[in-house]
Amino acid sequence: MELAFSSEEIVFRDEIRAFIAEKLPESARKNGGRWPHWSKEDVVTWQRILNEKGWAVPHWPVEYGGTNWTAVQRYIFIEELLRTPTPEPLSFNVNMVGPVICTFGNDEQKKYFLPKLRNLDIWFCQGFSEPGAGSDLASLKTSAVKDGDEYVVNGQKIWTSQAHNADWIFALVRTNPNAAKPQMGISFLLIDMKSEGVTVRGIETIDESRHVNEVFFDNVRVPVSNIVGEENKGWDYAKFLLGNERTGIARVGLSRERLGRAKKLAAKLPSFNGPLADDPQFKRKCATVEMQLKSLEITIMRIIDRQRRRNDSAPDPATSMLKLRGAEIQQTTAELLADVAGPMVAPTGQIRAAYEGDFPAELEETLGIIPHYFNSRAATIYGGSNEIQRNIISKGILGL
Amino acid sequence: MRSNVISYLKVFWGFKMDFELSNEQQLLKDSVSRLIADNYDLQKRGAIIKSADGYSKTVWKQLADLGLLGLSFSSNYGGFDGGPVEQMIVLEAFGTGLLIEPYLATIVLSGTAIQSAADENKKSELLSAISNGDHLMAFAHSERLSRYQLSQVETRAQLKNGNWILNGEKTTVLHGGIADTIIVTARTKGSDRSTDGISLFLVPAKTKGITVNSYPTIDGMQAADIKLSNVSVPQNALLGECDKGFLIIENIEQHGIAAVAAESVGAMQCVLDMTVDYLKTRTQFGRPIGDFQVLQHRAADMYVAVEEARSIAIYAAMMTTEKDTEKRRHAMATTKAQIGVSCREVGQGGVQLHGGIGITEEYAIGHYFKRLSMIERQFGDVEHHMTTLSMMDSPD
């Protein structure tokens, strides 16, 4: 990349680095070095710091708080955040619902929501998947029936990440059960989580944590004015959302950061003839990941470059490749970390918590690795599983 | 035609994260692609393979007339100052047509050697001679025991009475049988594996004591085993500094890597396109086999592998001019490892998805597979470069 970035871009990168070094709060810095990373407060605080600087939503149109950076600058920015690491700007707000409102929302919605999304005054979650609608998302059943100037929403969402932290949910709801195609009867609705009839139930995951939830809607009354864009056009907006800023989905910086972490940890642990970090097998695995990341990084640059030229909002099926490979590599780095930790992965969360402060400080992070590994298995499932991404490539690009 | 080419090649080219071809580069791409499409198909290629020389003098002349042979040489020596991207464009097109002409041997490998190590006189003489298609060259480095170890050189050169005397044996010298001049690497001091003490020599192919055993290779090209028995060349046959040839050899290999990376991308894209076409037309169980998801997903994986190769070929083009030796080494090892991975995935996938006809000599896919399998093993395979990378620190 060094050669590829112009000198202006290098200056830009250094500016980002300096800003992070100066402004990242101590708590976030400390939590970034352990698993799991950040508290809600860390995420909110950091996004507000970015917002104050004017960097919370670089890719939004300038009139809504964007920075007018080039696509390459935006890539540099997010990669610097990831590899430091800092808390990530909340994707639901800045990459998903924000751009949808910017593009399809009405003036009132823009005025009300956009500043709050930027500053994380409102934390959004995403209500797409349902028990019967996963990869086949268009078969979703949660209904919204118009009653005067309100919709009455009934149904259930599932795998709703961060719903327990969220103030609002953007949900795909069925507004026309009789549409010619299931995709044509869906609307994009913003729902206040405090509304009567909304129930959130956590799902315990294999990493002994809570990321995802079930969200139930029982006669929830939502003002008609909370619909984004046109009724029954929600599927188009969802496709826009999934194709928008997907170049960040590969999370190259995150994988590099994890790889660096694995190498550091391996330097402290033994293998046959010296530290594990010097073991040829281990080094070989690291080198393979680095090769894959380099190919992926250039591919991202090519896609960004092409999108800049195309200058339209149609989703680019080539971004499926970034999700596919990015997620696979993230998983490889998580595997690598778990392999380095070795038998130290055994204790359950409760025991690990009890170890706190009573464990060699330099090895403390091994304690959080196994939940991270388990959680990483979701990377090829959420946001369109890797199998779905292959479907998109074979249909959208290869024409099969 | 030639003057057109000259004018559009003499354009400053800067990278700056701009992946789109300039108008001039697009013109170049179009004209090379047209040349290949008009003059090269599997049948014609087959006839060329069977011909006495194993390459087409007509095609070679066309390449010269288009200015493609001198493309990347300095205009001081009759070239067109083309950059690595122009080279990439040309080689990708060659990959599309599975061109078997001695471009890699003469222009890329030997041309790099001359450009980087020859004195002004030899540059003028040889670069213009190879640019206009009159002169062919080969790079004789590999030996039976060297595999991918660049410093493994047992061929010896000794200075006697003002002449260099060369003795040894080179193997699989690409297009060694048709070369007019052969660049021979030989040990001028040190043990068989030391990087210090290797030198390069310009040896006219007709020099007494040279025995060339030329043969066709699996990918339709030609190679030769070359015996040097008391071959005597004058003192000024030395190319570059005595004993300091290793870095030149490494640089030659790196240009070779960038070249076959681009070539492989052209070939892999063809494999993918042919395979996807086949999936759409071949019917079984009453429908096109491309309806079956298991085949779609394999095709999708092939697509990803081609795109990864394309990205890394661009990276290689960017990095061939990197001044920092370590960074360049790392980049080129990364490139060749990725290219090897992609060649295998795409080549094997193409054959598999074609079924029985994929392994026939009659059908195109097998020929692409053979070239890709050869590229996998040229200038170091995946294992070799992954080991290299394992021993280095990543610059990222």
In this predicted structure, the answer to whether residue A128 has a pLDDT above a threshold of 90 is yes
What pLDDT, on a 0 to 100 scale, did the predictor assign at position A4? 54
A28 three-state secondary structure:
helix
Least confident of A140-149, A348-357, B305-314: A348-357
Q: pLDDT at position B10, please?
A: 29
Q: What is the tens place of the pLDDT at every residue in B173-199?
A: 999 999 999 999 999 999 989 999 999
**Could B318 and A293 be called an inter-chain contact, meaning their C-beta atoms sit closer than 8 Å?**
no
Q: What is the pLDDT of residue A5?
A: 63
Tell me the C-alpha distance between A41 and A66, whole Å. 24
pLDDT at A349 over 90: no
The count of other CB atoms within 10 Å of the CB of residue B3 is 8
The answer to whether B334 contacts A294, with C-beta atoms less than 8 Å apart, is yes
pLDDT in tens, B115-156: 999 999 999 999 999 999 999 999 999 999 999 999 999 999
Q: Among residues of chain A, what percentage have pLDDT more than 70?
A: 96
Task: Provide the pLDDT for residue A247.
Answer: 65
Percent of chain B with pLDDT over 90: 90
pLDDT band at B89 (very low <50, low <70, confident <90, very high): very high
Report CB contact under 8 Å: B337, A291: yes
Q: What is the mean pLDDT of the segment spanning B213-232?
A: 97
Of the candidates B392, B319, B343, the one whose C-alpha atom is nearest the C-alpha of residue A280 is B392
d(CA A13, CA A20): 11
CATH number at residue A382: 1.20.140.10
Are residues A128 and A203 located together in one domain of the fold?
A: yes
Whole-number pLDDT of residue A52: 97
A119 in any annotated domain:
no
| CATH 3.10.20.30 at B138-239, yes or no | no
In a domain, A106, yes or no: no
Task: Judge contact between B60 and B124, C-beta under 8 A.
Answer: no
Residue from B259, B332, B256, B219 nearest B94 by CA? B259
Residues of B in contact with A389 (CB under 8 A): 300
Are A399 and B311 a contacting pair at CB < 8 A?
A: no
Please state the rounded mean pLDDT for residues B216-240. Answer: 97
pLDDT of amino acid B394: 81
Nearest residue of B to residue A296, measured between CA atoms: B308
Out of A256, A287, A302, name the one closest to residue B311 (CB).
A302
A112 within some domain: no
Q: What chain A residue is nearest to B330 in terms of C-alpha separation?
A: A291
What does the longest C-alpha to C-alpha distance in chain A come to? 75
Q: Per the structure block, which two tokens stand in for B126?
A: 């040889």
| B215 part of contact set with chain A, CB < 8 Å | no
Residue B168, C-beta contacts closer than 8 angstroms, at least 6 positions apart: B143, B154, B155, B156, B186, B227, B228
Q: Are B187 and B197 in contact (CB under 8 A)?
A: yes
The whole-angstrom separation of Cα A92 and Cα A126 is 7
- The chain A residue lying nearest B275, using CA atoms, is A398
- Which of A3, A295, A302, A310 is most worth mutating to test chain B (most B CB atoms within 10 A of its CB)? A295
Answer yes or no: is the ipTM higher than 0.85: yes
Q: Which two structure tokens, joined as six digits, stand for B197?
A: 């003490």
Class of domain B2-135: mainly alpha
Binary contact (B304, A324; C-beta < 8 A): yes
> A163-217 pLDDT, tens per residue?
999 999 999 999 999 999 999 999 999 999 999 999 999 999 998 888 899 999 9
Residue A367 banded pLDDT, cuts 50, 70, 90 = confident
Same domain, A35 and A130: no
Contact B24, B9 (CB under 8 A): yes
Q: β-pairing, B163-174 with B210-216?
A: unpaired
Q: Any idea of the CA torsion for A272, A277, A279, A282, to the nearest 10 degrees?
A: 130
Give the β-pairing of A124-127 and A168-174.
parallel
Helices (H), chain A: 7-23, 26-32, 40-53, 71-83, 91, 98-104, 107-118, 234-243, 252-268, 280-310, 319-341, 349-355, 369-376, 386-392
In terms of CA atoms, which chain A residue is nearest residue B298?
A390
In a domain, A169, yes or no: yes
Range of the domain at A208: 124-232
| ∠ CA B75-B183-B120, rounded to 5° | 35
Which residues make beta-bridge pairs with B174? B223
**Cα-Cα-Cα-Cα dihedral sign, residues A54, A58, A61, A67:** positive
In a domain, A100, yes or no: no
Residue A321: phi and psi, rounded to 5, are: -65, -35
Whether B105 contacts B139, CB under 8 Å: yes
> Residue B300 CB: number of other CB atoms within 10 A?
26
Q: B304 CA to chain A: closest CA distance, Å?
A: 6
**Cβ of B19 and A306 within 8 Å?**
yes
Contact of B230 with B62, CB cutoff 8 Å: no
Residue B15: the pLDDT is 35
CA dihedral sign, ordered B381, B387, B392, B396: positive
Domain co-membership, A214 together with A254: no
CATH class of domain segment(s) B246-390: mainly alpha
Cβ of residue B395 closer than 8 Å to a chain A Cβ: yes
Would you kindly state where each structural domain of chain B is located, as residue ranges?
2-135, 138-239, 246-390
Number of domains present in the structure of chain A: 3
**pLDDT band (50, 70, 90) for residue B12:** very low
Residue where the block lists tokens 């076959």 = B260
Give me the mean pLDDT over the A96-111 stretch. Answer: 95
- Mean pLDDT of the A248-273 span: 91
| Contacts of residue B42, Cβ cutoff 8 Å, sequence gap at least 6 | B364, B367
Burial code (b: 16+ CB inside 10 Å, e: under 16) for A218-251 equals eebebeeebbbbebbbbbbbbebbbbbbbbbbbb
Chain A contact set for B327 (CB, 8 A): 2
Q: Kindly list the residues from chain A whose CB atom is less than 8 angstroms away from the CB atom of residue B311.
A: 295-299, 301-302
DSSP B32: H
Contact A203, A209 (CB under 8 A): no
Same domain flag for A267 and A355? yes
Q: Residue A287: which of B18, B19, B386 has the nearest Cβ? A: B386
A220 and A249 in a single domain? The answer is no
Tell me, yes or no, if A286 comes closer than 8 A to chain B by beta carbon: yes
- Residue A346: its pLDDT value, please? 87
Answer whether residue B5 shows pLDDT above 60: no
Asked if residue A110 belongs to a domain, the reply is no
Distance CA A125, CA A119 (A): 15
Q: Which residue bears the tokens 């640059």?
A: A301
A167 three-class SS: coil
How far, in Å, CA of B386 to CA of B338, rounded? 9
The domain spanning residue A133 has which CATH number? Answer: 2.40.110.10
Residue A77 lies in a domain: yes
Q: Check residue A245 and give its pLDDT.
A: 58
Query: Hey, are the CB atoms on A394 and B296 less than 8 Å from each other?
Result: yes
pLDDT at B4 over 50: no
Position of tokens 């040489």?
B73
* Active-site annotation holder among A245, A257, A297, A365: A245
pLDDT at A246: 66
Nearest to A9 by CA among A62, A71, A60: A71
Condensed to tens digits (0 to 9), the pLDDT of residues A14-25 reads 999 999 999 999
Given pLDDT bands bounded at 50, 70 and 90, which one contains residue A301?
Answer: confident
- How confident is the model over A22-45, as pLDDT tens digits? 999 999 988 887 766 788 999 999
A335 as an active site residue: the answer is no
Q: Do B389 and A290 touch (CB under 8 A)?
A: yes
Token representation of residue A386: 């890797």
- Alpha-carbon span B54 to B73, nearest angstrom: 26
- Angstrom distance (rounded) from CA B7 to CA A54: 46
For residue A368, the model assigns a pLDDT of 80
Sign of the Cα pseudo-torsion (A246, A252, A255, A261, in order):
negative
Q: Is the peptide bond before A36 cis (omega within 30 degrees of 0)?
A: yes
Point out the domain boundary residue: A64, A89, A114: A89
Residue A1 has pLDDT above 80, yes or no: no
My answer on whether A390 and A255 are in the same domain is yes
Q: What is the pLDDT of residue B346?
A: 98
Chain A closest-CA separation from residue B30 CA (Å) = 20
The torsion angles phi and psi of A251, rounded to 5 degrees, stand at 50, 50
A309 close contact with B: CB closer than 8 A: yes
pLDDT tens by residue, A211-251: 899 999 999 999 999 999 999 999 999 988 877 656 678 88
CA distance A189 to A105: 11
Say yes or no for a CB contact (<8 Å) between B390 and A286.
yes
pLDDT at A98 over 60: yes
Q: Cα-Cα-Cα-Cα dihedral of B78, B84, B87, B91, to 10°?
A: 160
Residue A207 main-chain phi, psi, to 5 deg: -95, 20
pLDDT (0 to 100) of residue A31: 84
Q: Distance (Å, rounded) from C-alpha A364 to C-alpha A353?
A: 11
Claim to verify: residue A210 and residue A267 sit in the same structural domain: no
The answer to whether B107 touches B114, Cβ cutoff 8 Å, is: no
Together in a domain, A166 and A283: no
**Cα end-to-end distance, chain A, whole Å:** 34
Helix (H, G, I), strand (E, B) or coil at A215: strand
DSSP state, residue B104 = I
Shortest alpha-carbon distance between residue A309 and chain B (Å): 9
Last residue of a domain, one of A169, A202, A232: A232
Which of A:206-265 have CB within 8 Å of B? Answer: 256
What is the pTM for the complete model shown? 0.92
Residue of A nearest to B273 (CA): A398
A68 to chain B, any CB pair closer than 8 A? The answer is: no
Q: Per-residue pLDDT tens for B247-304?
A: 999 999 999 999 999 999 999 999 999 999 999 999 999 999 999 999 999 999 999 9
Say if residue B224's pLDDT is above 60. Answer: yes
Strand partners, A145: A152
What local confidence, expressed as pLDDT, does residue B16 receive?
47
- Residues 328-367 on B with a CB inside 8 Å of A are 334, 337-338
Task: Determine the average pLDDT of the residues in B76-87.
Answer: 90
Closest chain A residue to B272, measured at CA? A398
Note the pLDDT of residue B6: 32
Q: Do B308 and A325 touch (CB under 8 A)?
A: yes
**What's the gap in Å between the CA of B277 and the closest CA on chain A?**
9
A277 interaction partners in chain B (CB closer than 8 Å): none
pLDDT in tens, A376-393: 999 999 988 999 999 999
Which residue of chain A comes nearest to B324, CA vs CA?
A3
Interface with B, mutate which of A293, A294, A300 (most B CBs under 10 A): A294
Q: Is A136 exposed, middle or buried (0-12, 13-18, 19+ CB in 10 A)?
A: exposed
Both A249 and A212 in a single domain? no
* Closest-CA distance of chain A to residue B391, Å: 8
Q: How many residues does chain B have?
A: 396
Report yes or no on A101 lying in a domain: no
Out of B19, B297, B303, whose CB is closest to A305?
Answer: B19
Same domain? For A277 and A306 the reply is yes
Contact B300 A294 (CB under 8 A): no
Which site among A258, A271, A400 would you substitute to test the B interface, given the most B Cβ atoms closer than 10 Å to its Cβ? A400
Neighbouring residues of B18: CB distance < 8 A, sequence distance ≥ 6: A305
CA distance A62 to chain B (A): 23
